[in-house]
Structure formats: structure tokens, C-alpha cells
Structure 1
Amino acid sequence: MDTTRILSESSQRKTICIEGSFEGNTSPAIVILEKKPFSGQNLKNILNTESILSKDFINDIYGNYECFPKLEYNGIKTTIIHPATEKHIKKFESQPIHLVEETPELYESITYPHLQTEQFDLTWVHNILEHKSEVDRIVFEDSDPTNGFILLPDLKWDGKQIENLYLVGIVNKKGIKSLRDLTGEHLNLLKNVMEKGCNAIEEKYKLPRSKLRVYLHYQPSFYHLHVHFTNLKYDAPGIYTEKSHLLTAVINNIELMPEYFQRATLPFVLKETDKLFLKYEEKGVVKKC
């Protein structure tokens, strides 16, 4: 791969995101590299005589070394997006961000019209729902057209290490873009995703509901309703208050007021190069420093 630039990197999450192109193909590509978390099951395969230790220094009882385990325990999780669109590149590019307090009026006048013309292609989502791709990755499926969903590992997870467990539940019903579309008529759907999703994860991965973080994003990364399931211990991207909404809280809010998400002010974060940011800037809602 020929590297064009580093889009972003995080020492906290041990990730780096690179833009480039592959030999013989000029279409841009995004490669995301992530160091895997340690698994207690593999410790005995790392802390043994087959690993190589390179000494940094020793001072009294303290010693610093660099450890080189066997190749199979030193892998890097790699995600490739190819061909990558300009929207993909902007999504992963590090840049200044701003918090928008979106009122129902701002949603109707700015956000919603924007979504009608600018959003990620959903072909890959429909391929999953129609069993055209990723069938072997499905963990659970409820085929009911109204309240059903498909549960499968998120691309950020290797599907193995429970420490950073991350699955996503994609609802079968089309036309529900985000939190803003949810009303009382969707309560059965949301409760079904919560109940059956948690049960499926406990059955397969032995992680009970009390150790799961189940939530929705606003704004979501793609506009077909989906729910995130992560290990509560995992510091997953997008779990902070300006982005995530616990599914139990979403259900409770709708039970209290069926039109809650049509009336509420919802916060979300925008990058300065996002086209939606430019539209909010034109209206004087946000401004660059």
C-alpha cells in the first residue's frame, strides 16, 4: 500500500487510521490498524520461554523490557475500506469538533433536509439483511419484518476477545433513520432488540446483561436504525454523553412521552469539514474559532 497520509491516531485506543492506495488501483483506501487487548487465556502463551525479552534497563528490583511473543500472539486487527469515499475519509480524519444542541426546529430546518441528500450508501446494510453477505458472521437473527433484527460483530471487534466485545443489532424494518424517528409504535421493536440481543450474547459469550452497555448513537454513522452492544469494561468509541443514548433510557423516555424524540433537544458532535457543519455555520448556530 502507498500511504498518502495519516488521518488520525490514538495512543489511548492504540489505533492509527491511514489513507492511501493499493498498487495498480488509484481509488483511495482507508486502513485502520488496532493493537488487540490482552486476553487472560493467552497469557501462558506469552509469558514463556518462546517469547523474546529485550532489556531496556534494570534499577534495583525494577526492570523494563520489550517483549516479542510468538507471531500468532502479536497480530494487529486491520480494517480496510476500499474504495473509500470522501465521506469515509472525513469520518476518520482528525479535525476540530463542535457540539450542536439540536432543537426539533433545527432538525426540521437543517438536519433533516441534509439527510435527504447527504448520507452513506446503505447497500452494505441491505446486503446483510437480505443474506447477500456476512451470513457466516450472524450471531442471532429474528426474522420478524416489524420487530426483528440481525445481531453480528461490529467491524471494530475481532469476534474473539471478550474484553472488547462489540456487536451491533441492525433492525429489519427500513425507513427508521435515527432516534428522531422513534415513537411509541416502536416500543415493541426496541424491547425485542434489548431482550433477545442480550440473551443471545449471554448464551454465546457468557456475558450477562448487567455487564453490557446497550445504546444508540446520535448522530449515527449510518441512517438505518441499529443498536450497539459492548462490554461494559470496554472504552468503545462514541460512548460519551454527547453521542450515546442507553437503550433502556430511550425506551423509558418513549414510555413517558411517545413523541419524546420529536420534542427533545438532542446534542451531537460535528467535525468542521462535515457538510452538515457548514449548514449549521451558515445559520449562525456554530462558528469556527
Structure 2
Amino acid sequence: MTCTISSMADCAKQSEVDTGDGNGTDVAKHPAKKQKIEAGDGDVCEVSGFEVKKVLRDCAREKTMFLQGKIAEKEAVVILEKTPIHVDTLNELFRESQLTMESNNDIYTTYCLQPPAHLNVIKTTVVCPATEKHVRKYQEQETVLVEETAEDYRTITLPFLESQSFSLQWVYNILEKKAEVEQVVYEDPDPKLGFILLPDFKWDQKQLDDLYLIAIVHRRDIKSLRDLTSDHLPLLRNIQKKGKDAVRERYGIKGDKLRMYVHYQPSYYHFHIHLNALKYNAPGTGVDRAHLLSNVIQNLECDPQYYKTRTLTFPLRELDGLLSHFREPKDSAKL
């Protein structure tokens, strides 16, 4: 039996059961158009021409899929993500969707709900041209924990990072106002203490429950947590205070409902701080990777060289080049 939700009462009478609820998705204000995404070299990639070569990872729980393929003969990685249901679309969702009953048992009924196109959006992120590093980043892999001593950082991690060609141009584009200018939530332009606050790409900016922002510092001499000393406390305190103030003024979320933390290892080596709504179980908030900003500040207050001397534990995936260096014979005992 198929029906629109606007006629659910009639359908319920026919099946003699109560109606159930279904899954809907994000709302867009305009009909779907042929998608075009800017490629990394300035060209334009037509997503409609994406040729799937391999499913790198399929996360059913997060409703996200990572694909490898080609767009106009260029290697590409495409990320598909079902977007959240938004409260302000519910009336239209129930009024306009098509509903097919799948099963009924007493008071419980399961339906397949098909929303109209503009309420059935899939967020699509394209990396094009993609390198082998991008492919490895999104590929399904086993993960192991590594204990990195201060000596390990100096002799293994830092030389590895310096040997890699990790591009930070997209970060510099943001700092230099060449990209994402309209996304900036707040900026402190001070070259030593300042930062730019803007939404993380994982947040669709439609609802506050999963708010996710990134504070990117203006200074370019801090790669990661390992570089921090007590000299950086004014910078960290400035981000902590002004970041909280900006979120409260812009989104009405108080500081005690906000999580602020640093990743180690970070996904890119220009110092930045993550901010998200406390109720949002964001990826990367586990104790194996996230360091609360308040704890970072306290640790540096107690020991100015804390992060230069301590052993830090973090996860690495099997195909991460850094892991192979930790697994060399002289370091095999660490794992």
C-alpha cells in the first residue's frame, strides 16, 4: 500500500493500524541542479560525471559513504553524507512524502518514507584531483594506539612530517581572505593572539545540536600540541574566552554547553582548536585523540614544557606512513 502522508489517517483506517514515523533529510530551498564542484587546481568538476571505482568506506551508523573514482579523467574522492532532519521541515515532510507500508504488528507499523526531492538532500564533498594520501585517509583501515615519547617525536614523528608534502594552502586561503570569507563567524586579527572562527565542513549550519566550529590561529609557527609552551598561554586563553563569547553571541550557546579541544595527531599541521556543542558526539572526541583546551592550559601553567616532554598516546591507521616508521625494528617494542 502506498500513500502520501497527508492521507495517513485514511491509510491507517485501511490497514487498521496506527501510523509510524519515517526518516527524512535536509531541506534545500531550490530544486536539485547539476552539481559542479571546484577542483583543487582551479578547474570545475561535474559531480554528475563521477565514475565510481571503489567504495573506500561505508559507515552505516553515520550514514556516510566514501568513494574513490574519477571525474573527467582526474582521480577523485567523493564523500556522501545523509543530512539531518530539521524541525522546520517536519510539517512539509509529513504532508508531501510518499509512504509505503512494509510491516504491521499490533500497534507497530514500519513504513518506507520517500520525501520530495528538496527534502532528500545528500551532502556531497569532492576532493579533486585526489592524491594517494587522500585515498588512504578515507579508506577503511584497522587502527592501533601508539605511545609517542618526547624522543620519538624528535626522531620519528617530526622528521616524517618534515619529509611530507602536506599542503596547507587551503588554510592560508582562509587566513588571507581568499576563500570562505562569507563563512567567518568571528575574527581576532592580532598576528600573535588572533584567530579566525568558522564552521567545520561536517556541520551543515542548519541546527545547533550538532554545532561544529574551528578556530584557526593566524600565526604559522605552531604545527601541533607538541609545539606548545607556556609562551602560548595568552593565545590559548584568548581563543578560549573570545571563542566562547562569539558562540554565545552568534548562536546563544553558553560556554558550559561548549566543548573546546585540540587533536593529537591533528588532521593538518597548522594549529587549530575544535569547538562543538556538548550534546553532539562529534567524531574525534575520544580520549585517545582529543585534549580539552582547559586541560591544555592548566598543564602548561603547571609545566611550561609539558607537551614537549610528555609521552602522548594517539591512534594511527594501518596505512598511515607514520605508523610504518614506528614499526621499524628498533621501535617495534613500542607497539
Q: TM-score, normalised by structure 2?
A: 0.82
Change (3 A) 1:201 1:119: farther
> Which of 196, 206, 209 is the equivalent residue of 1:160?
206
Determine the C-alpha separation between the residues in 1 that align with 2:281 and 2:77.
Answer: 23
- Aligned counterpart, 1:11: 60
Give, in angstroms, the shift of residue 12 of structure 1: 1.7
Q: Any idea what SS the aligned residue of 2:125 has?
A: strand
**Structure 2: how far apart are the matches of 1:249 and 1:6?**
39
Are residues 1:40 and 2:87 paired?
yes
Amino acid at match of 1:34: E
CA RMSD of aligned residues (A): 1.5
* Gap change, CA 1:31 and 1:148, over 3 Å in 2: same
Superposition deviation, residue 44 in structure 1: 2.2
SS in 2 for 1:198: helix
Given residue 189 of structure 2, which amino acid in structure 1 is its aligned partner? S
- Please give the alpha-carbon distance, in whole angstroms, between the structure 2 residues aligned to 1:123 and 1:264: 31
Within the candidate set 248, 264, 272, 1:226 is matched to 272
Deviates further, 260-269 or 155-164: 155-164
Q: Secondary structure at the match of 1:167?
A: strand
Counterpart amino acid of residue 276 in structure 1: L
Q: 1:286: Cα distance to partner?
A: 4.8
Q: Is 2:100 the counterpart of 1:54?
A: yes
Structure 2 contact 86–206 (Cα < 8 Å) conserved: no
Partner Cα separation in structure 2 for residue 109 and residue 84 of structure 1: 30
Q: Structure 2 CA distance, aligned partners of 1:11 and 1:207?
A: 30
How far apart are residue 70 of structure 1 and its match?
2.5
State the one-letter code of the partner of 1:10.
C
Question: Structure 2 CA distance, aligned partners of 1:208 and 1:225?
Answer: 24
**Amino acid corresponding to residue 255 of structure 2 in structure 1:** R
Q: Structure 1, residues 26-74: CA drift from partner, whole Å, max 9, x if none?
A: 2211111111122223322223x21221100111111000112222221
Larger radius of gyration: 2
Question: Mean Cα displacement is larger for which, 59-68 or 172-181?
Answer: 59-68
Give the deviation of 1:177 after TM superposition. Answer: 0.3
CA distance in 2, matches of 1:68, 1:202: 37
Q: Distance in 2 between matches of 1:285 and 1:99?
A: 14
Counterpart of 1:158 in 2: which secondary structure? coil
1:17 CA drift (Å) = 0.6
Paired AA for residue 299 in structure 2: N
For 2:43, the equivalent position in structure 1 comes to: none
Deviation at 1:207, TM superposition (A): 1.7
Contiguous gaps of at least 5 residues in structure 1: none
Worse overlay, 146-155 or 263-272 = 263-272
Number of paired residues?
Answer: 285
Which one of the candidate residues 150, 155, 165 is aligned to 1:109? Answer: 155
Structure 2 CA distance for aligned equivalents of residues 165 and 122 of structure 1 = 24
Contact 1:140 1:200 in 2 (8 A): yes
Given the alignment of the two structures, is residue 268 of structure 1 paired with residue 268 of structure 2, yes or no?
no
Distance 2:289 2:332 in 1: 18
Identity of aligned residues (%): 46
Q: Retained in 2: the 8 A contact 1:176–1:225? A: yes
Matches of 1:258 and 1:166, distance apart in 2: 30
Q: Where do residues 129-208 of structure 1 align in structure 2 (5 Å cutoff)? A: 129-208=175-254
Is contact 2:197–2:243 with CA below 8 Å preserved after alignment?
Answer: yes
Moved more, 275-284 or 13-22: 275-284
Q: CA separation in 2, counterparts of 1:40 and 1:163?
A: 12
Q: Determine the C-alpha separation between the residues in 1 that align with 2:126 and 2:161.
A: 26
Please report the TM-score for the alignment, with normalisation by the length of structure 1: 0.95
User: Aligned with 1:191: secondary structure?
Assistant: helix
Q: Hey, what's the Cα distance between the residues in 2 that align with 1:57 and 1:159? A: 35
Q: For 1:94-132, what per-residue CA distance to the aligned partner results, in whole angstroms no more than 9, with x for missing partners?
A: 112111011101111100111111152001111110111
Hey, what does 2:46 align to over in structure 1? Answer: none
Candidates 72, 83, 91, aligned match of 2:129: 83
Give the counterpart letter for 1:32 in structure 2: I
1:30 correspondence with 2:110 = no
CA distance in 1, matches of 2:273, 2:332: 29
1:284 CA displacement: 4.8
Q: Gaps spanning 5+ residues in structure 2: where?
A: 1-49
Q: Contact 1:17/1:33 (CA < 8 Å) preserved in 2?
A: yes
Q: Indicate how the Cα distance of structure 1 residues 158 and 89 shifts in structure 2: closer, same or farther if over 3 A, else same.
A: same
